[in-house]
Each structure stands twice: as structure tokens, then as C-alpha cells.
Structure 1
Amino acid sequence: MGATGTGKSRLAIDLAIRFDAEIINCDKIQVYKGLDIITNKVTDEERHGVPHHLLGVIDPDEDFTAEDFVYHASLAVDDIIKRCHLPIIAGGSNSFIQALVDDTKFRSKYEFCFLWVDVSMPILHSFVAKRVEQMVDAGLVAEAREFFEPSGDYSRGIRRAIGVPEMDEFFRQESFVEDETRAKLLKTAINKVKENTCKLSCRQLEKILIMAEQLKWPIHRLDATEAFMRQDGDAMDPWKRLVAGPSTRILSNFVGGNNQTDSKSALSVAPQFSSNAISLAIANN
């Protein structure tokens, strides 16, 4: 659970490889078929053979609710555990995770280990802006055009994805304006995508804080800011040292039966930090 852009899929796959696990997607937009670039779905190559569930399987026009997620995720968890694998739930839709954990039947069967990767908000927003530019280079505009809605209704299904409604004005006017105006419209649309993605990360932070403080969830905080500041050849070392390594130790203790909250790794939030929970691991109670 957590903010967009902080590496949920990356860590989930790292842990899945180490713990013989399978991943259940918990992103309310990535569950849909299509918009692989805009929704930043993990590619087949990036999965490294790790099975993924609820990723790109729902019809784009359907509404997939939190109740739907609880039903399908519960089936997936049961199936994964029956095959003696560990389920890891990874995604930014915290409302889905809360619905699952609050489900009485599910909570009675399983225990949970929450891992949250936290990144300084200014650093995260800078990274997100660059990622949007990379998505544009990769074909964001053409992908969004396929889901352009002449009626202007972007309230259902995959059309809610950030990157689609923001392009609406550009698509409406691009054929009727000169090149300079067209370029300005496109720039405005891309800036809206960046702005709305940053707003999303702030909302996700707020939700995680509510989960931790009001719901008293024992969330382990992992500060990945240094790894994001060093986006070069040395970035891997702080990621392993600050994120992958500690999360491996936490999860090892959890699946080994020691599910006590470590005061050194439990929630400790500085107000300038954004949040992103990287994975929710589930094991038999």
C-alpha cells in the first residue's frame, strides 16, 4: 500500500523471489486491461517469472469496487496458500487493503505484515514528474487517445486513470488549431498529469497515516529517500541497505512466527516525508 512511484512492484518482486511468493495486485486501475504505459504496469520481463494476480484482467468499462477486490483477493490468497506459497499484496489503493483487512472472515484466517517505503515528498514529486515525461516518450498520448470519451465522462472503469481525463481538452482541439497552440495544449495536459499524480501521492500519504494512527496498524516504515536521491550507478546500494535488506529481515521474522512489532522499524513519521507501503504479506494464522 502507499504512494505512487516508490517501487511497490520492485520490492514485491524482490521479496517474492526470495520467499517463493506470488503477488496480488492492489491497484484499482491496474486491475483493468489496457493502458499499460499510463498505469505503469509491471512488464513480463520485470516480473522475473513471479506469478501475478488481478493484474490487467478486468474489462475496461466495468466498475471494480473494494468489495470486488475483497472477494477476488480472498480467493487468490486461499489458492496461493494451498499451493504452499506466500501471498504478497502490492499496490497503491489503500482503500482496497483496508477493506480486505477489515473483512471479518479474512481477518479471522490470516495475520498481516505491513511494509511501508517512505520517500521525502519533494524528492518523490520530482521523480514522478520525470516518470510522466518518460511515459510520454513511451506513448502515453496515443494510449490515452484510445480511451478518449467524447461525452467527457471519465468516472467509470479505466477511464478514471490519471493520464486520460487530463488529455481530454487536447484531443478535442488538436485537429482545429495550429502547431504552436497544439504544442501548448499538450504541454498543459502533461503538466496536469504531473500535478494530479503528485496530489494522488499526498492523498495516499494521508490514508496511510490514518491507517497507522487511528486503526493502530503495525506498519514498518522504510525510508528510501536516499535511494531516490542517488538515481545513478550507486542507487542500488542504498535501496538494498535501506529497503530490500530490512524488509527481508522483517518478513523473515514474520513468516518464522515472530510477529512482534520492532520499535526500531515500526511507524515513525516525519511530516516532510511522503509514504508508500511496498507490500502486504499474508501468512496463515
Structure 2
Amino acid sequence: MNIFSVSGACKPPVSFQPALMDNSFFHQHRKEKVVVIMGATGTGKSKLAIDLATLFRPAEIINSDKMQVYKGLDITTNKVTEEECRGVPHHLLGTIDPNSNFSSNEFCHHATLAIGSIVGRDGLPIIAGGSNSYIDALVNHHNEFRSRYECCFLWLDVAFPVLHSSLSARVYRMIEAGQIKEVREFFDENNNDYNRGIRRAIGVPEFDKFFRAELEGKTDEITMKKLLEDAIDAVKINNCKLANKQVQKINRLYGMWKKNMHRIDATDVLLKKDCWEDRVLAKSVRIVHKFLYAETRVPIASSATVATVTH
């Protein structure tokens, strides 16, 4: 199957021969290579990571989202489904006790172990997630990682007005998918602490007042409806605030990593709901290909020829 077989104007500007996707050369380099995908919540990081992993085989993904590391709340934390993973192995995704506080130091420890294991199997590690403090700790402050690995950073960026609108729409999709029922299972009338573990996730504390009123059973229907609407609005607002903070952090990191960080504008993808392959994937493939293979001097296929990339 050709991953770039799409109709209309969305044509890959450069094609890549399957033979060039072999990662067996990795251990010939002084430093092993790692791809890091960054961006605000809702920009398509997980999708891009999986797409790249299916092309640059063998590749595995290390999740760097603070809430997705915990078990549970799959809808609320927007974890990729087994089907969406398309057989690509994922690490640190839904594996941590939801009542614990998984620190940056713990992330660095577990991520480094996973990366070492992947590289030991001649694989490409792809780190993807919105928690930039995890990535900052790993790349800038973890000596073992700094000494062993070289990174290529892909920054998926979306204009705020478009991103905010998309995030609001995503909240309603989560509600329709069963988020309220999912979060209700984590509600504890005797525990109003939302500063630990997965209970910190956006989409959990916002429903506290609604669940307490629901449990009491004394609130009229109109008030209950208003409490629910307020909770949903708060989730939308907090997602947008999170996105703003994430981009501010990325901009600061960009000052340090400018040489190896590549900004990819995905605004049109969210706005027009198409051309992912052309606007995001093809550009990302070119960048990663150059990062992995530039030193091997293997020629890239002519842009005039469209090759089939098999899965």
C-alpha cells in the first residue's frame, strides 16, 4: 500500500525508496539518533509519530505525555487506541500507577532504558508527547542521554485561533465517546485533591461540582444541566490555556535547539481537514531521512519519481 496514494493535489513532493528506510547503519555513528516530536495538545503528534514509525522501520515510540503515562482515563487523556497504533510498539503509555506522581527524573530513567533497548535492536526511537518538561529534563539535563544520543526535533505548530477551535471540538467528541462515565469512576466524594497522579488531568477536576451534586441527588435538572455545561466549558478553556503554555515552553527550547528543531505548520491540516500527507508527513519524512542518512551519502530518489513505500 502506498501511504502517499491520495487523490487531488496532495502529492508527495519527494519520494523515498523502501531500501533507504533500513536503520541498520545506526551503530556506525558516534551518537545514536533519536527523533523527538513536539507540539501543543491536539496538533497531531501521535499520528505523526506512528506514521513515521511505519516508514522508518524498525521504530518504536516513547510517550512523553505526563497524563498518558498513567493507567486509565484513555478517553480523557486522549491515548491512541490499539488500532491507531497500527502495530507500532509504544513505551510509557498507560503503564504507571494512576495514584502516583511520575516525576521528570523517573521519566528520564524509564525513557533512557526504553531508548537503549530500541537502539540495541537496531531500531529508531521516536519520542512524542506534549509534556515539554519531560523532554527538557531528558535532553538538557540527563547526562547519559546527552552523551549517547543526537536528536532531531519536529515541532508541529498550529495557529492559535485554529487550534483553539479544534480543541473545543475535540472536547465534544470526548464527551460523546463516554468521557463523563469514564471520569465518574475516578470521582471520590471524600477526596477533593486533584494535584496527584492522573487526577490532575484536564477533564477530571472540572467535573467535581457536577458529580457532587449528582451524588447528593437534591439538585434540580436545570441546575444540573448548567453544572455540566460549566464543566465542559472549563475543560475547553483549560485545554486552550495548556496549549498556550506548551507553545511558550517550546519557543524557549527553540532558542537552544534551533539548529536541530524543525517547525512544521499544520494549521491548514486542522483548518481544511485534509492534505496531512502533503503538508505534514512528506515534509517530516524528508527531515528525518536527512537526519538519519545524510552521513551515509545514499542518494535520495528524484522528486520526479513517485515510489511506493510499502508497509
TM-score clears 0.5 = yes
Q: Specify the alignment match of 2:147 in structure 1.
A: 108
Q: Specify the alignment match of 1:271 in structure 2.
A: none
| Matching residue within 230, 239, 242 for 2:272 | 230
Aligned CA distance change for structure 1 residues 39 and 78 (closer, same or farther; 3 Å): same
Matches within 5 A, 1:123-134: 123-134=162-173
Cα deviation for residue 257 of structure 1 reads 3.7
Cα deviation for residue 126 of structure 1 reads 0.4
Runs of 4+ that moved beyond 2 A: 214-218
Cα deviation for residue 115 of structure 1 reads 0.1
Cα deviation for residue 242 of structure 1 reads 1.6
- SS of match in other structure, 2:40: coil
Q: Specify the alignment match of 2:12 in structure 1.
A: none
Matches within 5 A, 1:189-268: 189-214=231-256, 216=258, 218-231=260-273, 235=274, 237=275, 239-258=276-295
d(CA) in 1 for partners of 2:284, 2:148: 23
Q: Is 1:91 the counterpart of 2:129 in the alignment?
A: yes
- SS of match in other structure, 1:192: helix
Q: Is 1:183 the counterpart of 2:221 in the alignment?
A: no
Q: Specify the alignment match of 2:100 in structure 1.
A: 62
d(CA) in 2 for partners of 1:258, 1:220: 19
Question: How many corresponding residue pairs?
Answer: 254
| Matching residue within 64, 70, 74 for 2:112 | 74
Q: Specify the alignment match of 1:277 in structure 2.
A: none
Q: Specify the alignment match of 1:25 in structure 2.
A: 63
Q: Is the 8 A contact 1:211 1:217 kept in 2?
A: no
d(CA) in 1 for partners of 2:279, 2:134: 27
Q: Is 1:153 the counterpart of 2:153 in the alignment?
A: no
Aligned CA distance change for structure 1 residues 84 and 252 (closer, same or farther; 3 Å): same
d(CA) in 1 for partners of 2:46, 2:181: 25
| Matching residue within 145, 150, 162 for 2:202 | 162
Identity of aligned residues (%): 56
Q: Which amino acid aligns with 1:120?
A: A
Q: Is the 8 A contact 2:151 2:260 kept in 1?
A: no
Aligned CA distance change for structure 1 residues 214 and 18 (closer, same or farther; 3 Å): closer
d(CA) in 1 for partners of 2:218, 2:130: 38
- SS of match in other structure, 2:39: coil
Cα deviation for residue 216 of structure 1 reads 4.7
Aligned CA distance change for structure 1 residues 77 and 48 (closer, same or farther; 3 Å): same
- SS of match in other structure, 2:262: strand
Please list every run of 5 or more consecutive structure 2 residues that lacks an aligned counterpart in the other structure: 1-37, 297-311
Residue by residue over 1:158-207, the C-alpha shift from the partner in whole angstroms, topping out at 9 and shown as x without a partner, is 00000000000111112221111111100000000000000000000000
Q: Specify the alignment match of 2:301 in structure 1.
A: none
Q: Specify the alignment match of 2:79 in structure 1.
A: 41
Structure with bigger gyration radius: 2
d(CA) in 1 for partners of 2:271, 2:76: 24
Residue by residue over 1:80-139, the C-alpha shift from the partner in whole angstroms, topping out at 9 and shown as x without a partner, is 011111000000000000100021111110100000111110100100000000100111
- SS of match in other structure, 1:208: helix
d(CA) in 2 for partners of 1:108, 1:145: 45
Q: Which amino acid aligns with 1:4?
A: T
With normalisation by structure 2, the TM-score equals 0.80
Q: Specify the alignment match of 2:7 in structure 1.
A: none
Cα deviation for residue 218 of structure 1 reads 2.8
d(CA) in 2 for partners of 1:88, 1:214: 20
Q: Specify the alignment match of 2:43 in structure 1.
A: 6
Cα deviation for residue 217 of structure 1 reads 5.8
Q: Is the 8 A contact 1:115 1:221 kept in 2?
A: yes
- SS of match in other structure, 2:153: strand
